[in-house]
Chains A and B, each alone.
Chain A
Amino acid sequence: MEREELKSAVESLLFVADGPQTLHRLAEVFDQADRQTLQSILNELQTEYESQNRGIRMVEVAGGYQLRTAKANADWVKKFLGGRPARMSKATLETLAIVAYRQPITKAEIEAIRGVDVDGVMTTLLERNLIRAVARKDVPGRPFLYGTTPEFLQLFNLKDLSHLPTLKEMEEISLPEIPGDVLPIDQLEET
């Protein structure tokens, strides 16, 4: 098979594919085509879509390759599809972030961080298949330990968990140092 033919076929497969396709799977379909060739084809396609500013982009997500629409066209696509976007509440998103960074983690541990009950949010996340029970913790009651799913990676366009945005160090977030001789605000107000 000519390289150009293979490239064309790879593009067709990604077009019809349901979900991200791994390099492994593609190699399998093309009768154990050379991985390196496939990889270079994928990279080429990715660059072509990008550089020609096409309406379709190829992204590396959840361990595979997938064709997605260009972000710039989001409004038109939404209008066309007419669906209601599933908006995620702040509580859901925060809980999901905790699971993502701290997995495997129990519900009680999540609640300790958020300071509130997370029953409802956990149900939503489980229903949307963004998290799943991965094991049981070896403590009294043997509670479930939760982790994220490939759907989570797809939702946030992540290649894998190691590509999660780096969690800021606690100190980095806090405001700049206030000089020591300044009165705290509560004392200022009382004078």
Chain B
Amino acid sequence: VSTKVQLEIFEGPLDLLLHLIKKNEVRVTDIPIAAITEQYLATLELMQSLSLDMAGEFLVMAATLIHIKSRELLPEGDEEPEPDEDEGVDPRAELVRRLLEYQRYKEAAAELEQREVLTRDVFVRATAPVEEAGPREFREISVFELLGALKRVIDRLPKDIVHEVMLEKITVREKMTLLLDRLRSESRIVFESLFSEVQSRMEIIVTFLAMLELVKVRAIRVFQDQPGGDILIEAAAGMDQAAEGIVLEEAEEKQDGA
């Protein structure tokens, strides 16, 4: 008989054992210890050959199984299994107890999973005003992380730029408008990409300030999918209002200038 072991991801030794017991169609209380031990060790070998990260607990269980097997090889009758041999508990009975208990919670977990799970089967309205929670999510990336990201952008600038004096007139407001325009065509922007065409330190800072300003008026949200991940920017509830505001301010400024 070829030992065909289908590899599944086992949560632990008990999970693996339960799987083998089920496969052999036997009761937990009547484990055919020799066969199960063999299959258990075969699976372990397979996991090792695939260099899967195997927890030490798997080896402890292997030892337990072998221990039980060796005890059962002792001739019956001559020596009645002494109740307190070395550990005081019958290792087989203890294993059965653990398996049954673990199985209970495994079943309970499966039952929980079959319920109407929030954000999988059913949804609440609170998922919509998530945009309003922008500032809260913003706090999730700390200012330090944001500054760290800014520093990385600045550091990437070629060091030998000397003609920074060239007075390009880029205002924070222009940058705000540019960013908002971009967000109309792209739903999400990676923070670093804001600076991909930026040439000077001043422009980086202006761009950064524009981003902060838009966060303040809740036109955009700045967040991170996961710690250390990309810092992302997306439109928020106040975007259109903010865009209008900028246009108005600009108009006013032109009037003042005239």
Contacts and interface: CB of A to CB of B under 8 A. Distances in A.
Contact of A117 (B24, B32, B57, B121): B57
B162 interface: no
Interface stretch (B78-86, B105-113, B143-151, B247-255): B105-113
Interface string B2-23: 0000000101111100000000
A185 B35 contact: yes
Interface string A168-179: 101001110110
A93 to B, nearest CB: 4
B126 interface: yes
B104 A167 contact: yes
Given A165-B111, A189-B35, A101 B105 contact: yes
Contact of A116 (B33, B55, B124): B55
A116 B124 CA distance: 35
A178 to B, nearest CB: 6
Describe B's contact surface by its main secondary structure: helix
B152 interface: no
Of B1, B15, B33, B109, which is in contact with the most chain A CB atoms at under 10 Å from its CB? B109
A19 B118 contact: no
Interface stretch (B95-103, B163-171, B203-211): B95-103
Contacts of A186: 32-36
A53 interface: no
Given A97-B105, A186-B35, A74 B122 contact: yes
Given A98-B105, A165-B108, A185 B120 contact: no
Given A115-B61, A115-B102, A74 B109 contact: no
Nearest to B11: A91
Contact-residue bracket for chain A: 35 or more
Please classify how large the interface on chain B is, using the bins under 10, 10 to 19, 20 to 34, 35 or more: 35 or more
A93 B123 contact: no
Contacts of B109: 90, 93-94, 96-97
B11 A116 contact: yes
A96 B12 CA distance: 16
B115 interface: yes
A164 B98 CA distance: 22
Given A68-B124, A86-B119, A116-B11, A173 B104 contact: yes
A66 B13 contact: no
Given A115-B14, A175-B25, A167 B108 contact: yes
A1 interface: no
A67 interface: yes
A154 B112 contact: no
Contacts of B35: 185-186, 189
B50 interface: no
Nearest to B25: A175
29 contacts: A66-B124, A68-B116, A69-B122, A86-B119, A88-B113, A90-B109, A96-B112, A97-B105, A97-B106, A113-B105, A114-B14, A114-B102, A115-B13, A116-B11, A154-B118, A155-B118, A157-B118, A157-B122, A165-B108, A165-B115, A167-B104, A170-B101, A170-B103, A173-B100, A173-B104, A174-B100, A175-B27, A184-B32, A186-B35
Given A69-B124, A94-B109, A155-B118, 9 more contacts: A90-B109, A96-B109, A97-B108, A101-B105, A114-B102, A115-B14, A157-B115, A168-B108, A186-B34
